[in-house]
């Protein structure tokens, strides 16, 4: 999943004032995160149980509950 796709999805429920700001790379920023599960899929027969959209929605619900509790 491309980062842009994730950002576009989050924008669908983000606060209306949400604004994406592109900035210059900073010292220490990772150039390549290696966020790729293909090797784990191939060697370990790994398959995620939760898709990224569902994962984001669950995280959103969890944070919402924490905010309602004042945490």
Domain boundaries, the chain: 37-71
The pTM for the full model equals: 0.69
pLDDT at 11 over 80: yes
pLDDT range class, residue 64, cuts 50, 70, 90: very high
pLDDT tens digits along 16-56: 888 888 899 899 988 887 778 999 999 999 999 999 999 99
Q: Which two tokens stand for residue 48?
A: 């995620």
Given this model, what pLDDT does residue 3 score?
A: 84
Given this model, what pLDDT does residue 51 score?
A: 94
What are the φ and ψ backbone dihedral angles of 50, each rounded to 5 degrees? -125, 125
Residue the block writes with tokens 């150039």: 31
């Amino acid at each position: 999943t491309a980062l842009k796709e994730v950002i576009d999805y989050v924008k669908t429920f983000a606060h209306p004032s949400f604004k994406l700001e592109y900035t210059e790379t900073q010292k220490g920023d990772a150039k390549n995160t290696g966020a790729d599960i293909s090797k784990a899929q191939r060697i370990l027969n790994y398959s995620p149980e939760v898709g990224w959209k569902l994962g984001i929605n669950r995280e959103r619900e969890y944070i919402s509950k924490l905010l309602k509790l004042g945490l």
